[in-house]
Amino acid sequence: MMTSELVAIDERRLLRRLDDLAQRGALPSGGLYRALYTPAHVAATELYADWCKEAGLLVRRDAVGNVWGRVEGSRGGRAIVTGSHIDTVRGGGALDGALGVVAGLEAVASLVAQFGRPTRILECVAICEEEGSRFSTNFWGARAIADRLEPDEAQRARDADGITLADAMRGVGLDPARASQAVRRDIDNFVELHIEQGPILDESNERLGVVRTIAGTAHLEVTVRGQADHAGAAAMERRRDALLGAAAMTLAIAKVATDMGPPAVATVGTIGVEPAQVNVVPGLARFTVDARHSSAALRLELIAEIAKACKVIGRERELAVDVRTLRDRPPVQLHERTTDALRRAARAAGVEPREMVSGAGHDSQILSAAAHAAMLFVPSIGGRSHRADEATAAEDVVLGTRVLATALRDLAYAA
């Protein structure tokens, strides 16, 4: 370990770049949307690549479009990596993912400028996709790195217009047949700075958190089948309205999570009906459920209770109910010794970081299968995230970046 002084960074450059990145994908109605392989996404990754070049890093776009900036270490070995995702949710804010992308680069650039070549390979990365906001898949970038892509996934995943992920890749000059070449087996540590996205740090007036556990997430698709009917001629008591059933299920799902208590959460985020006509009783309703818990056992119980509640309502209303699992990611514990590097760096700033559970999903949860992963949180004002007014105080953005840089110095410049 080197000196315990906090690493200096270029604060103005960091904040300006966060603003610049937020212009890529800015929506006229407020907020931003950088969906994988769209022009806004390409513009953001090109900007990031330019900044990496400016810092004198070796820049590379991998087989799925993750962009890496690298400095070789004098002793080689396995790499020390920092970064986050450059895509956003629809109408998202300027920091979810972007903070870890811009701060990661700032940390690496500052270290190289001040301390020269590290002993270990040091890299920053803009991960191409994490949010699942365009295609029927998520964590595409991190899963490619961690060798967790499914066979033919790029051919199967589609966006709302029916465009396959494979075609979208071709559209930006990537070959879907080569996606597996993005795998990295030589990463030692992955350290990610991220906004908390919840209210805990902000409400307790704490400035830094380290993540011990990332909650597991299940995405379910529930299909409810009743009977389409005439909206004028079918009497209310004779109907088998699929949407009314789905509405009752939505309320029941929220109750299951509420009754289980924190940190159980369950969200119905999308719903559609067929035939979707103003004067037809819906014969089919289909909705998604996002269910999360940080305990492996309680998460399974939550999922089972949700499925049971839907089935019970289906029986009561004479509706057929099918519950399908779209994706299922168990909770993940982050790496203790790598987290220690963050704890030491936070203490160098005079801050005892809070030990936290993340309800939000992160690239680190995927990369922890391929590397020793650790995460640092800075406060989200009002706990706001996945919305346009997501914000973190500038001094916390700066503090988080300096602590990240200090932890990376600890890891990458060790004798």
Two structure tokens written together for 358: 């993340």
Q: Does 130 bind ligand HGY (CB under 6 A)?
A: yes
Q: Does 198 bind ligand HGY (CB under 6 A)?
A: no
- Of the pair 178, 387, the CB lying nearest ligand HGY is at 387
Separation between Cα atoms, residue 397 and residue 107, nearest integer Å: 12
- Of the pair 106, 131, the CB lying nearest ligand HGY is at 131
- Of the pair 97, 353, the CB lying nearest Mn ion is at 97
Taking CB within 5 to 8 Å according to partner kind, which of Mn ion, ligand HGY, none is near residue 306? none
Taking CB within 5 to 8 Å according to partner kind, which of ligand HGY, Mn ion, none is near residue 282? none
Residues in Cβ contact with 219 at an 8 Å cutoff, skipping those fewer than 6 apart: 288, 289, 290, 325, 326, 327, 328
Question: Residue 114: how many CA atoms within 13 Å on its side-chain side?
Answer: 15
* Amino acid making up residue 131: E
State the nearest-atom distance from the C-beta of 360 to ligand HGY, in Å: 4
Taking CB within 5 to 8 Å according to partner kind, which of ligand HGY, Mn ion, none is near residue 241? none
Residue 173 DSSP one-character state: T
State the nearest-atom distance from the C-beta of 361 to ligand HGY, in Å: 3
**CA distances for 238 relative to 100, 235, 248, 318, 393, angstroms:** 55, 5, 17, 11, 57
- Of the pair 138, 338, the CB lying nearest Mn ion is at 138
Taking CB within 5 to 8 Å according to partner kind, which of ligand HGY, Mn ion, none is near residue 363? none
Selected binder of ligand HGY within 127, 285, 360, 374 (CB under 6 A): 360
Q: Does 131 bind ligand HGY (CB under 6 A)?
A: yes
Give me the helices (H) in 55-94, please: none
Q: Does 192 bind ligand HGY (CB under 6 A)?
A: no
- Of the pair 131, 202, the CB lying nearest ligand HGY is at 131
Q: Which of 116, 88, 72 is nearest to 26 (CA)?
A: 88
List residues binding Mn ion (CB under 5 A).
Answer: 96-97
Span 253-272, contacts to ligand HGY by CB under 6 A: none
- Closest residue to ligand HGY using C-beta atoms: 361
| 3-class DSSP assignment, residue 133 | coil
Taking CB within 5 to 8 Å according to partner kind, which of Mn ion, ligand HGY, none is near residue 361? ligand HGY
- Of the pair 100, 361, the CB lying nearest ligand HGY is at 361
Neighbours of 223 (CB within 10 A): 17
- Cβ–Cβ under 8 Å, residues 79 and 187: yes
Q: Does 165 bind ligand HGY (CB under 6 A)?
A: no
Q: Does 357 bind ligand HGY (CB under 6 A)?
A: no
Taking CB within 5 to 8 Å according to partner kind, which of Mn ion, ligand HGY, none is near residue 97? Mn ion
Q: Does 361 bind ligand HGY (CB under 6 A)?
A: yes
Two structure tokens written together for 186: 């030589």
Taking CB within 5 to 8 Å according to partner kind, which of Mn ion, ligand HGY, none is near residue 314? none
CA angle 245, 250, 254 (to 5 degrees): 145
Separation between Cα atoms, residue 330 and residue 317, nearest integer Å: 33
Q: Does 62 bind ligand HGY (CB under 6 A)?
A: no
* Amino acid making up residue 200: I
State the nearest-atom distance from the C-beta of 92 to ligand HGY, in Å: 9
Q: Which of 226, 228, 224 is nearest to 277 (CA)?
A: 228
| 3-class DSSP assignment, residue 81 | strand
State the nearest-atom distance from the C-beta of 50 to Mn ion, in Å: 23
Dihedral sign for Cα atoms in the order 209, 49, 35, 371: negative
Separation between Cα atoms, residue 151 and residue 272, nearest integer Å: 28
| Residues of the shown chain interacting with ligand HGY in the complex, contacts defined by CB under 6 A | 130-131, 360-361
